[in-house]
Amino acid sequence: YPRYRALQEEVSTVTDLSGYGSRSMTLTELGAPAVLTVEVATPSLFPLLGVTASRGRVFGVQEEDRGAPRMVALVSDAFWQTRMGASPDAIGTIVTLDGLHFEVIGVVGDRYTGLSGDADVWIPFAALREVVEPSMLEDAWNQHFHVVGRLGAGVTLEGARSEVRAFGETVMERFPAPVGAERLISGGDVVSFQEARENPAAATSMLALFGAVILVLLIATANLAGLLLARGASRQREAAVRASLGAGRGRIVRQSLTESLTLAVIGGLLGVGLASVGIDVLGAWLAESLGTGGARGLEYLDVESLSIDWRVLLFATALTGGVGLAFGFLPAWQTARTDPNVWLKGGGTMTSPASGLFGMNSRNVLIAGQIALAITLLSSASLMMRTSLGLQRIDLGFDRAGMLTALYSLSPADEQAGIDPGVFHSDVVERLRSMPGVVSATVGEVPMGGPTWRTIVLGSEGRPELTPAEHLWLRMQPVSDGYVGAMGATLLEGRDIESTDDWNTERVIVLGRSASEELFPDGSPLGQKVRLSRSGYGGEGATVVGVVEDIRLDRPGTPPERFALVPVRQAPQLESGLMIRAAGDPEALIGSLRSEMAILAPNVALTSVMSMERRVASVTERSRVLTFLLGFFGSVALFLVAVGLYGAIAWSVTRRTPELGLRASLGAGRMALVSLVLRQSLGTTIVGILVGGLGSVAATRLFRSLLFEARSVDLVGFTGVTTILLVVALLAAWIPARRGMRVDPVVALRSE
């Protein structure tokens, strides 16, 4: 906050500078306890964003921080309607958050949900003096909020960036960092609001899906173009008659394009209709699955903004017209180039092998293109499937089967009322262990759920030479006794946290394997000391009593972080997580868990209650959704290609029946004729496969960030797809060729 105030006073290129942050607080006394997203805001934020109150007022100068807490709040329109019954007397009423009382001064309208996208309540920065601690806003290195502003008149982004960077270079000197914070990123930068809103993971996911849809569109377009080419070839005699009667090439081309554009318009209208339904059905699901969050709290997908607007209609119109022209022009031009004299004299029906570039005519080029696009799409889907399966099978360092998880938190008011968090957490564990169907229970950080605390390792007996620049960040978990056993983790040496490890005994710590190897590279850490920046763990430090195999606390696919376990009674925190191992279905215990917690702590809300299997599935949902959608589009593409490939090759072979009859009359054997047809058909297929392999490599590079243990091409998937297409090509050539061999050469030649 002091750095924000200095920035506000000294930087002139950015005006209306405002601070905002987000925190979770428990609402009580208005229905069942619930954890809400509460945004903390400076009074200048709402005028900056143009947000007003539908009732009451927003924060004003009276909410500026002047060294005393301001316990007022704004509520969202949804909160006012659902929690306050849309009462016209809501202004002036009291809401209780974390046991603290806030006076409602306004209702924010226009469906505003904050910069985080899911806020229910707003409190001023000055309230943090009561919500957290009085010195909260005096600490220059308490980095729990973000800053937003507007460029001054005539100021460019680069101009503002230069001034803020210059300010940032003086931060460490003007605000000396505490021990260990020297390694924090210091300085300053400016990014546009639009850039800050972009979620890279979601953007890459959407790009992958958009690419898949485009590939299916191109395959369908090529398929239709091939069909229209075939139709155009069958209408060449008609075109010759029209030309002989005076129709020019332009007239013939216009007729063909009119037919293709009519098909495109019908398809476009159906597509827009399906899109409007798809937004309602899939919009929220995709927004939730493909990525939210972000360091600035801005990177969320706004489902409300998804609609069929003029931009979408313009895009659909351009796409429809482009596709209609694309698959209509080539057959139209081919038909228009027909020589009327040849057809009117009775010639032109006998077709010859492919001609053109590398012996491939236009239809073969389309077939090869379809195959290449399908292989690119299906290979990408195969890679995503391997990613999804790999993330599901990855060793997390603990046994996730049969485990129920939940998060909860005491409030600062509970602690001020004399409740010891360490004792409370221990009592929760003991009560839950007595529940029917519970095998074991513990508290601590829930993997892939939180809450998370990090501290700085100041030194250890294994590495006494640690300098401030070498201080390590350590993920510190206050846990109850029996944590390692309850989690099904692997104890490598020493012992687990025990019930006797409390405030009356020496500080102890259990290190994760990575932390142990880094802090004690030359031997066993048991019995040695580790000094932490956390209060009570400096000085002589904590004694290492055990080493546990690394546990993946973040999403699967990320490297394990250095962590340590400490007794919850020696390092109590208000927030904690529950891990309960059940004898049967863990989610069958949810009702009993809520009942027990309601008896033990009526004002404590349980959140994120789910099995560990569901939790792991939720954090890998993006890859599973992409796998499903890419697989769906890939299956559609494979079907289209198979049908188009079979139809095109079969039609081509059927058209060559007179040629095959002539070859037979000149002495060619049946197997020689079949071999000729197969060689020409498979040649087109192989060209498509080779191009598709290159496309698969390129596609992998585009969305490599979404892959786990990515490879350039999934050889198993690539082999499977190419095998299917080769079989289809063989059948497409063999069946009509075999049928053509049965035709009497005299009958075939008589058709000429």
d(CA 226, CA 221): 9
- Confidence band, pLDDT 50/70/90 cuts, at residue 359: very low
d(CA 629, CA 21): 35
User: For 645-665, what is the mean pLDDT?
Assistant: 73
Q: What are the residues facing 249 on neighbouring strands?
A: none
DSSP 361: -
d(CA 419, CA 573): 12
Does residue 439 carry a pLDDT above 90?
yes
Query: Measuring CA to CA, how many Å separate 214 from each of 195, 319, 376, 633, 634?
Result: 25, 10, 12, 10, 12
What is the predicted pLDDT for the residue at 526?
A: 94
Phi, psi for 491 (deg, rounded to 5): -85, 115
What is the predicted pLDDT for the residue at 498?
A: 93
How many other C-beta atoms are found inside a 10 Å radius of the C-beta of residue 432? 23
Which residues does 416 contact at the CB level (< 8 Å), separation at least 6?
none
What is the predicted pLDDT for the residue at 350?
A: 46
Alpha helices in 447-524 (DSSP H): 483-487, 513-519
Does residue 487 carry a pLDDT above 60?
yes
d(CA 149, CA 193): 9
Q: Are 155 and 13 in contact (CB under 8 A)?
A: yes
What is the predicted pLDDT for the residue at 355?
A: 45
- Please give the residue that has the higher pLDDT: either 557 or 568: 568
d(CA 342, CA 323): 32
Percentages of the chain per state (helix, strand, coil), in multiples of 5: 50, 15, 35
Query: Measuring CA to CA, how many Å separate 498 from each of 115, 127, 403, 479?
Result: 44, 39, 21, 10
CA-atom Rg of the chain in angstroms? 35
d(CA 488, CA 398): 5
User: For 262-268, what is the mean pLDDT?
Assistant: 87
Q: Which residues of 392-415 are buried (b: 16+ CB within 10 A; e: fewer)?
A: eeeebbbebebbbbbbbbbbebbe
What is the predicted pLDDT for the residue at 494?
A: 94
Phi, psi for 473 (deg, rounded to 5): -85, 135
3-state secondary structure of 247: coil
| Mean of all residue pLDDT scores within the chain | 82
- The rounded Cα 63 to chain-centroid distance in angstroms is 38
Does residue 570 carry a pLDDT above 80?
yes
What is the predicted pLDDT for the residue at 443?
A: 94
Q: What is the pTM of this model?
A: 0.72
- Confidence band, pLDDT 50/70/90 cuts, at residue 39: very high
Does residue 80 carry a pLDDT above 90?
yes
DSSP 435: S
Q: Are 615 and 410 in contact (CB under 8 A)?
A: no
Nearest to 728 by CA among 665, 670, 647: 647
Q: Are 102 and 40 in contact (CB under 8 A)?
A: no
d(CA 651, CA 682): 15
How many other C-beta atoms are found inside a 10 Å radius of the C-beta of residue 697? 14
* pLDDT tens digits, 149-164: 999 999 999 999 999 9
- Confidence band, pLDDT 50/70/90 cuts, at residue 384: confident
Region of poorest pLDDT, from 105-114, 527-536, 607-616, 637-646: 637-646
What is the predicted pLDDT for the residue at 312?
A: 86
Which residues does 727 contact at the CB level (< 8 Å), separation at least 6?
none
Nearest to 334 by CA among 256, 264, 269, 277: 256
- Please give the residue that has the higher pLDDT: either 292 or 273: 273
* pLDDT tens digits, 290-312: 655 555 667 666 666 677 888 88
- Please give the residue that has the higher pLDDT: either 548 or 265: 548
Q: Environment class of residue 127 by beta-carbon count within 10 Å: exposed (0-12), middle (13-18) or buried (19+)?
A: buried
Q: Are 375 and 724 in contact (CB under 8 A)?
A: no
Q: Measured on CA atoms in the order 648, 654, 655, 656, is the torsion positive or negative?
A: positive
Structure tokens at 689: 């496969």
Q: Are 587 and 611 in contact (CB under 8 A)?
A: yes
User: For 617-639, what is the mean pLDDT?
Assistant: 79
What is the predicted pLDDT for the residue at 291?
A: 58
Structure tokens at 358: 């590398």
User: For 87-113, what is the mean pLDDT?
Assistant: 91
d(CA 537, CA 529): 10
- Please give the residue that has the higher pLDDT: either 729 or 511: 511
* pLDDT tens digits, 516-566: 998 888 888 999 999 888 878 877 889 999 999 999 888 776 778 899 999
Region of poorest pLDDT, from 55-69, 220-234, 346-360: 346-360
3-state secondary structure of 77: helix
- Please give the residue that has the higher pLDDT: either 652 or 6: 6
Angle at 119 between CA 115 and CA 124, to 5 degrees: 80
H or E segment at 511?
Answer: strand 508-512
User: For 196-202, what is the mean pLDDT?
Assistant: 76
Phi, psi for 627 (deg, rounded to 5): -60, -45
User: Residue 743: which region, alpha, beta or left (left: phi > 0; alpha: psi -120 to 50)?
Assistant: beta
User: For 724-751, what is the mean pLDDT?
Assistant: 70
What is the predicted pLDDT for the residue at 52?
A: 93
d(CA 436, CA 583): 9
* End-to-end CA gap in the chain: 91
- Confidence band, pLDDT 50/70/90 cuts, at residue 583: very high
Q: Are 518 and 550 in contact (CB under 8 A)?
A: no
Q: What are the residues facing 259 on neighbouring strands?
A: none
Region of poorest pLDDT, from 257-271, 302-316, 624-638, 641-655: 641-655
* pLDDT tens digits, 360-374: 566 677 778 888 888
